[in-house]
Chain A
Amino acid sequence: KAGVTQTPRYLIKTRGQQVTLSCSPISGHRSVSWYQQTPGQGLQFLFEYFSETQRNKGNFPGRFSGRQFSNSRSEMNVSTLELGDSALYLCASSLAISRFNYGYTFGSGTRLTVV
C-alpha cells in the first residue's frame, strides 16, 4: 500500500517567485492537511481539504493557498516567496471517516529553500 507521496522532495526558488507543491494521499483517504515546519516556529497547520473543499485554515497569509482535486490529490501554492518561507512542507492524509481511529499519515515532505 503506497504511502503519502509528496513531490518534489527539494526545491530552490528565488524571492518573489511562486511555487507549487504536490501531495498524493493514501488511496481512499479523503482528507489532506498541510503543515509548515521550521526550526523557529516548529510544526504549524496551514490548511485542510476534504472532498475538494477547504475545511480548515491556519494563521498564514493569503500568499499560501491550496486546492484538492476529485481524486483527493492536493496542491499548495505559495506566491511572492519570502526568505522566511524556507521550510519543510509536510502533507498528511486521513480517511476522515473517523479521524480519531485512524490518525494522520504524513509524507516525507518537500524541502523548500528560498534564496
Chain B
Amino acid sequence: AQSVTQLGSHVSVSEGALVLLRCNYSSSVPPYLFWYVQYPNQGLQLLLKYTSAATLVKGINGFEAEFKKSETSFHLTKPSAHMSDAAEYFCAVSPSGNTGKLIFGQGTTLQVKP
C-alpha cells in the first residue's frame, strides 16, 4: 500500500531563511505527488504537483520540490520564507491507476518568526 511520511510535524524558520519541508513516499509504481497548503479555517490549495515530467517542479509562491526516486523523496523548498508562508503543508500521493484518491501525510506546520 502506498503511504506518505512527512518528517517533522512542526518546522520553525526565521523570515528570509530557507524553508525545507520533508516528504517521503512508499510506492511500488511511479507515483504522482502533490504538495498542498492549508491556512486556518480554509481548504487545501495546490502548491505544485509531480506527474513524471521534470523532476524539479516549480509551484506557486516561490515553492519548488524535487522528485528523487532513489531516495523516494519529494521535499518542498523555498529560498526565502515570508511571514505569509505560515500555514500547514501536506504532501500527498495519488496511487497509480486509482483515480480521485489522494493519500496524505500527517502535515507539517510551518512557523515563520520575524
B104 touches A43 (CB 8 A): yes
State how many residues of chain A have any CB contact under 8 Å with chain B: 30
- Residue of A with least CB distance to B107: A42
Among candidates B43, B99, B104, B105, residue contacting A56 with C-beta atoms closer than 8 Å: B99
Contacts of B36 in A (CB 8 A): 106
Knowing A100-B32, A108-B42, say if A42 contacts B104 (CB, 8 Å): yes
B67 CB, nearest partner CB in chain A, Å: 13
- Residue of A with least CB distance to B90: A43
CA distance in complex: A43, B58 (Å): 24
Chain B interface: which size bin? 20 to 34
CA distance in complex: A18, B6 (Å): 35
- Residue of A with least CB distance to B99: A99
Among candidates B34, B102, B107, residue contacting A45 with C-beta atoms closer than 8 Å: B102
B101 touches A33 (CB 8 A): yes
- Residue of A with least CB distance to B104: A43
Among candidates A44, A92, A103, A108, residue contacting B49 with C-beta atoms closer than 8 Å: A103
B99 touches A106 (CB 8 A): no
B66 CB, nearest partner CB in chain A, Å: 18
A26 is an interface residue with CB less than 8 A from chain B: no
Question: What 1/0 mask marks residues of chain B from 91 to 102 whose CB sits below 8 Å from any chain A CB?
Answer: 010100011111
Knowing A42-B107, A43-B90, say if A104 contacts B43 (CB, 8 Å): no
Contacts of A103 in B (CB 8 A): 34, 46, 49
Knowing A100-B51, A106-B43, say if A31 contacts B100 (CB, 8 Å): yes
Q: Most B CB atoms within 10 A — which of A42, A103, A105?
A: A103
A-B contact pairs, 5 of them (CB 8 A): A33-B100, A50-B99, A99-B32, A99-B94, A103-B46
Could you list which residues of chain A lie within 8 angstroms of chain B, going by C-beta atoms?
4, 6, 31, 33, 35, 42-45, 48-50, 55-56, 58, 90, 92, 94, 96, 99-101, 103-109, 111
